[in-house]
A and B are shown apart, each in its own frame.
Chain A
Amino acid sequence: MAPQTGGRDLPPPQPISHWRNLYWWIAIAGGAALVVWGAAFFPERRRDAPRAAAKQEREAFLAIGFSRVSERDPVAIPADAFRREIAELDDAGFHAVGPADVEAFVHDGAPLPARPIVLTFDEARRETLDIADAALRDHDFRGVVFVQVEPLEQGNLQYVSWHRLTQLVASGRWEVGLSACWPNGVEKALDLITLSDSIRHGRELLEERSGAHVTAVDCVRPLDELPATDKAWARVARAASFTVGFLKAPPGANYRTDPALGLRRVRVTRDWLDRKLVPVLEASLPRREPYQDDFSRPEPSPAWMIDHGKMDVQSSSLRIAAAPDEDGAMVFLGGTERWRDAEATVEVASPPEGQFWLYLRRGGQASHVRLGISEGRVLLQRSTAGGGTRQFGSMPLPDGKVELTLRVVGSRAIAKVDGRILGDRPLAVPEELATGGVAIAVWDEDSAKASARVLKFAARPMFERAAIVPASPAESEWRALREQAPELTTVSPRYFRWENGAGSTAPRDTSLEIFAHYQHWRLLPAVRIAGALADPERRALAAEVSRWAADPAFHGINLILDGGEANEWTAWLERVRGSLAQDGKRLAITWVGARGPRNSTTSDFFLPASGETGLEIASAEPEGAGRGP
């Protein structure tokens, strides 16, 4: 049967255009190839979108340093391992930042992307930089190379040429810094002058040769050598126009308030890579969530960092013990170095060998609040650099395992033993113990005998809470205040009010002030500001606030402000805060209704709404604020 063509139901036959089809197929194939290969041609563009959406970090950043990376050198970090670690850093959400970002962060408070890390490289070895550059390009990371100028000036072939360095800088992936250090035994005068001249000339030469603006200097000496030389080193580096400086240091984060010319750079060595870089770095990030550990894994969590001594997991417990020839051991909970207000609970298999201690706000050898076990008793102690160690409570050690809880919030500490409060009143914590890490330690005068087994551990950051109360509380408000007492750090009686350009004062309640003193609360009388405030009026208010705060019974003033107007107040508040600080007084701000500026967390409280009556609880944790009973 012949095909039916040209019937009434069918369209007339059309000639087939084979060439046009071919063009279409070529175009489609070309487009597909562009999509597939384009990413390879333009790798830098791949990750722009997700990185732009990253969260911001305002508190801390990490810096790590690689010495040599090589395909062949047996003592260098193997190239494959390096590439793997860089990929894992990327997968873990770290964002590489450079000295310019760090400078803006440290000096001006500019935020960094989430999980910021400075990837640095010692010297400027040719092979290291070739391998590193390829890896950084693949992951849209940036690096910093700290250059020793002499080998490059001498044309040493192990190092990149100045031309190659200029190319790397021009790629936008690299920034350069100067590698320089103080010599052994530098004390004063002529050594420092020589050092100062040499680093300044080094910077000028590096800028001239590389065409880059050089602001970072790196010294391979350990951070703990710095104290003897710190001010002199920082000053000569600053005078040579360096704005950020790194020193070799054990794992830990750099916080915004750290000295900009004494930042820690954790050096990554070959043996480090066996332990995996990312978990160690993650443990160094500021810890903002509660931590719990029942030691059910065969190895200690990377969150635990050894200061000295040794630790391991045995029978679902963490055993810390002195190493041979040492008289103790100490391990830190990583990321807690700048914790301010916190609670930690530890369950210890009793009794330990020697002394056992749980530390909060540990800032150094002689700066801490600690709860521990010694010679059959549980002790609560406080130690400051100038005041020595003082004991504030003790009780017999219960039999069997014991649970110790230590809470330090604001200017007071509370200790519990198996849930029972130790002592009859909170321990006063002086301002000099404002921040510090969480640690556990053992010690015994017979070396190498000290040890303890920790069965459970929990720690959590806390937030200050202020009770805003009437100038003369009624009986019900007194009752509520007593109930809230263990949770409070500050009490703010409504003594003062600013309205129509003038201040007014309510009668004071002496019994409230005595109670606040007994509880080691800060007494920060509230100043309520009614209505809008014109500029000239602010000057008068500032003077009045200073006058009110001057009363020796007060630790400062708590200004109650509308959070919605936070930006209007910022500059004025900073001036008032600075003025009061010169007199040793504190200015706290309670933002009502909305979040205020979050760049000054130490003295800010938040209150969702204020009825200006009764007892109200304001919290430093915005979400936790609420109206009291």
Chain B
Amino acid sequence: MRVPARALLLALLISIGCRDARPPVERPRLAAWVVDWNDALLRDALGVVRDHHEVLSQIDLFRFRLTTEGDAVATRPLTALHRRLVDTARAYGLSVVATVVNDTVGGDGKIVELKDAALVETILRDDTRRVRLARRLAAVARDEGLDGIDLDFEGVTGSHQDRFLDFVSELAGALHADGKRLIVTVAPPPVGTAGKPPPTSTDALADLAALVDEVRVMAYHHHHPTSAPGPSAPVEWLDAVVDRSRAAMPAEKLSIALYAGGWEWRNGRREQLTSSEAVSLAKNLEAMLEWSENADAVHFHVDGAKGGIEVWYEDACSLVRKIERVRRAGIRTVALWHLGKQDPELFSALRAGRCERPTTRP
């Protein structure tokens, strides 16, 4: 009896050893920005985290802006709803990071300028202010118990890239000393016509990747407010953005951000829409929805004065397919801009791993 017992024990140990030797299977990561511009958006985000936490890995609270003096300031005071969202995310094992964006607010708390590249460049030129901002953001991450910071400074010109890298290295050093992560969100590398904001060179992507934990490339707004109507991320363009970004850094450093909503071009005006708003608009206009294979996006057009109305947006199916496309390229992390924009069916479709093609009429 003793020999079989030993054999069983040995077999058990070997099986445990073999199991441990296998590389752990890492789940794909899906991050989503959460904007706190009103409580409805926060409540919507809370619902997504509660109901679909299995497909999410991180929320990025779009939480800090810059004062005209170059200091970081919260978009609004921390509310019970913020805390509930953060606690719920943590309870489900999601990471929580805060995004700091270069939107400038004045002394009265009102936004002075969106994507204020000039202010960032002024801060970067001033060693004292630059170091102070890095220390302040590291302190914010420490004090609010965040897992890291997402730095979203857009529009910084190439001539300031050197100082921007200095700032990123200072912030990264301060965060890493506390075991926190740094994500830098950037415009995509140049592919075809320049988008908005100006593209990030592949050299700059590589330089950033050497300093931070994640370089997040905004693969959207290829067609943007000042361009002709079109899809936010046509697949050919998306593939090129992924390939060029991928060539600049290892896949584990790279994440691709996708836009979850849509754009409406109407009578010379352009507006952002949520996916639901796009569907409602199509219903109201009795428009025929069309599925673009090239764009992997939904669109409709209604004739009228000054070019009529044209809408391009992402629905659950288009985003599931794009996320899958990015992951097939070896990119583990995808981010969505932002919760509240998405098709309500998106997370169910992601969980199911499939989607239904849209009908031609909503």
Binding site for B on A (CB under 8 A): 188-190, 192-193, 195-196, 200, 231-232, 234-236, 238-243, 578, 582
Instruction: Collect the chain B residues with CB atoms within 8 Å of residue A188's CB.
Output: 203, 206-207
CB closest chain-A residue, reference B170: A238
Q: Is the CB of B176 within 8 A of A193?
A: no
A195 to B211, CA, bound (A): 10
Q: Is the CB of B211 within 8 A of A235?
A: yes
Q: Is the CB of B210 within 8 A of A236?
A: yes
Q: List 11 A-B contacts (CB under 8 A).
A: A190-B250, A196-B210, A231-B165, A232-B210, A234-B169, A236-B211, A238-B169, A239-B169, A239-B176, A240-B173, A242-B173
Tell me whether A190 and B169 are in contact in the complex, defined as CB-CB below 8 angstroms, given that A232-B210, A239-B211, A578-B126 are known contacts: no
Q: Is the CB of A189 within 8 A of B168?
A: no
Is B295 on the interface with A (CB-CB < 8 A)?
Answer: no
Q: Which of A190, A195, A241, A578 contacts B173 (CB 8 A)?
A: A241
Tell me whether A189 and B206 are in contact in the complex, defined as CB-CB below 8 angstroms, given that A235-B211, A239-B211 are known contacts: yes
Instruction: Collect the chain B residues with CB atoms within 8 Å of residue A242's CB.
Output: 173
Q: Is the CB of B210 within 8 A of A193?
A: yes
Q: Is the CB of B169 within 8 A of A195?
A: no
- Interface on chain B toward A: helix, strand, loop, or mixed SS? helix
CB closest chain-B residue, reference A235: B169
Instruction: Collect the chain B residues with CB atoms within 8 Å of residue A195's CB.
Output: 210
A23 to B253, CA, bound (A): 78
Is B166 on the interface with A (CB-CB < 8 A)?
Answer: yes
Min distance, Cβ B161 to any Cβ of chain A, angstroms = 11
CB closest chain-A residue, reference B126: A578
Number of interface residues of B (CB under 8 A): 25
Is B30 on the interface with A (CB-CB < 8 A)?
Answer: no
- Interface on chain A toward B: helix, strand, loop, or mixed SS? helix
Q: Is the CB of A239 within 8 A of B212?
A: yes
Is B249 on the interface with A (CB-CB < 8 A)?
Answer: yes
A195 to B128, CA, bound (A): 28
Q: Is the CB of B253 within 8 A of A193?
A: yes
Instruction: Collect the chain B residues with CB atoms within 8 Å of residue A234's CB.
Output: 169
Q: Is the CB of A200 within 8 A of B210?
A: no
Min distance, Cβ B214 to any Cβ of chain A, angstroms = 12
Instruction: Collect the chain A residues with CB atoms within 8 Å of residue B169's CB.
Output: 234-236, 238-239
Instruction: Collect the chain B residues with CB atoms within 8 Å of residue A578's CB.
Output: 126, 128
Min distance, Cβ A5 to any Cβ of chain B, angstroms = 86
CB closest chain-B residue, reference A240: B176
Q: Shortest 8 CB-CB distances between A and B: which pairs?
A: A189-B206, A239-B172, A235-B169, A192-B210, A241-B177, A239-B211, A238-B169, A239-B169
**Given pairs A239-B168, A239-B172, 14 additional interface contacts (CB within 8 A):** A188-B203, A189-B249, A190-B249, A193-B250, A200-B176, A235-B166, A235-B168, A235-B207, A235-B211, A236-B211, A239-B176, A241-B177, A578-B128, A582-B125
Is B236 on the interface with A (CB-CB < 8 A)?
Answer: no
Instruction: Collect the chain A residues with CB atoms within 8 Å of residue B207's CB.
Output: 188, 192, 232, 235
Min distance, Cβ B355 to any Cβ of chain A, angstroms = 35
A196 to B169, CA, bound (A): 11
Is B286 on the interface with A (CB-CB < 8 A)?
Answer: no
Q: Is the CB of B210 within 8 A of A239?
A: yes
CB closest chain-A residue, reference B166: A235
Q: Is the CB of A193 within 8 A of B173?
A: no
Q: Which of B172, B250, B253 contacts A238 (CB 8 A)?
A: B172
Instruction: Collect the chain A residues with CB atoms within 8 Å of residue B166's CB.
Output: 235
A195 to B210, CA, bound (A): 8
A189 to B201, CA, bound (A): 12
Min distance, Cβ B218 to any Cβ of chain A, angstroms = 21
Instruction: Collect the chain A residues with CB atoms within 8 Å of residue B203's CB.
Output: 188-189
Tell me whether A235 and B165 are in contact in the complex, defined as CB-CB below 8 angstroms, given that A188-B206, A241-B177 are known contacts: yes
Instruction: Collect the chain B residues with CB atoms within 8 Å of residue A190's CB.
Output: 206, 249-250
Interface string of B197-233 (1 = CB under 8 A from A): 0000001001101111000000000000000000000
Q: Is the CB of A193 within 8 A of B209?
A: yes
Instruction: Collect the chain B residues with CB atoms within 8 Å of residue A240's CB.
Output: 172-173, 176
Instruction: Collect the chain A residues with CB atoms within 8 Å of residue B248's CB.
Output: 189
CB closest chain-A residue, reference B206: A189
Q: Is the CB of A238 within 8 A of B173?
A: yes
Is B162 on the interface with A (CB-CB < 8 A)?
Answer: yes
A315 to B313, CA, bound (A): 90
**Of residues A189, A196, A242, A582, which shows the largest number of chain B Cβ atoms within 10 Å of its Cβ?**
A189
Instruction: Collect the chain B residues with CB atoms within 8 Å of residue A192's CB.
Output: 206-207, 210
Min distance, Cβ A189 to any Cβ of chain B, angstroms = 4
A195 to B126, CA, bound (A): 29
A238 to B170, CA, bound (A): 6
Q: Is the CB of A193 within 8 A of B206?
A: yes
Interface string of B105-133 (1 = CB under 8 A from A): 00000000000000000000110100000
Instruction: Collect the chain A residues with CB atoms within 8 Å of residue B177's CB.
Output: 241
Tell me whether A243 and B210 are in contact in the complex, defined as CB-CB below 8 angstroms, given that A235-B166, A578-B126 are known contacts: no
Min distance, Cβ B10 to any Cβ of chain A, angstroms = 27
CB closest chain-A residue, reference B131: A107
CB closest chain-A residue, reference B129: A578
Instruction: Collect the chain A residues with CB atoms within 8 Å of residue B174's CB.
Output: 241
Instruction: Collect the chain B residues with CB atoms within 8 Å of residue A231's CB.
Output: 162, 165
Interface string of B65-92 (1 = CB under 8 A from A): 0000000000000000000000000000
CB closest chain-B residue, reference A203: B176
Instruction: Collect the chain B residues with CB atoms within 8 Å of residue A243's CB.
Output: 173
Q: Is the CB of B176 within 8 A of A241?
A: yes
Q: Is the CB of B128 within 8 A of A235?
A: no
Tell me whether A193 and B249 are in contact in the complex, defined as CB-CB below 8 angstroms, given that A188-B203, A232-B210, A238-B172 are known contacts: yes
Min distance, Cβ A351 to any Cβ of chain B, angstroms = 48
Min distance, Cβ A187 to any Cβ of chain B, angstroms = 10
**Of residues A196, A232, A235, which shows the largest number of chain B Cβ atoms within 10 Å of its Cβ?**
A235
Q: Is the CB of B211 within 8 A of A196?
A: yes
Instruction: Collect the chain B residues with CB atoms within 8 Å of residue A189's CB.
Output: 203, 206, 209-210, 248-249
Instruction: Collect the chain A residues with CB atoms within 8 Å of residue B206's CB.
Output: 188-190, 192-193
Instruction: Collect the chain A residues with CB atoms within 8 Å of residue B126's CB.
Output: 578
**Of residues B176, B210, B212, which shows the largest number of chain A Cβ atoms within 10 Å of its Cβ?**
B210
Min distance, Cβ B175 to any Cβ of chain A, angstroms = 8
Min distance, Cβ A578 to any Cβ of chain B, angstroms = 7
A243 to B170, CA, bound (A): 9
**Of residues B128, B169, B206, which shows the largest number of chain A Cβ atoms within 10 Å of its Cβ?**
B169
Min distance, Cβ A77 to any Cβ of chain B, angstroms = 34
CB closest chain-B residue, reference A574: B128
Instruction: Collect the chain A residues with CB atoms within 8 Å of residue B162's CB.
Output: 231
Min distance, Cβ B243 to any Cβ of chain A, angstroms = 15
Min distance, Cβ A574 to any Cβ of chain B, angstroms = 8
A236 to B210, CA, bound (A): 6
A189 to B165, CA, bound (A): 14
Instruction: Collect the chain A residues with CB atoms within 8 Å of residue B176's CB.
Output: 200, 239-241
Min distance, Cβ B139 to any Cβ of chain A, angstroms = 15
Interface string of B171-192 (1 = CB under 8 A from A): 0111011000000000000000
Min distance, Cβ B202 to any Cβ of chain A, angstroms = 8
Min distance, Cβ B120 to any Cβ of chain A, angstroms = 16
Min distance, Cβ A234 to any Cβ of chain B, angstroms = 7
Instruction: Collect the chain A residues with CB atoms within 8 Å of residue B165's CB.
Output: 231, 235
CB closest chain-B residue, reference A581: B126
CB closest chain-B residue, reference A215: B177
Instruction: Collect the chain A residues with CB atoms within 8 Å of residue B250's CB.
Output: 190, 193
CB closest chain-A residue, reference B249: A193
A195 to B209, CA, bound (A): 11
A238 to B171, CA, bound (A): 9
Min distance, Cβ A264 to any Cβ of chain B, angstroms = 21
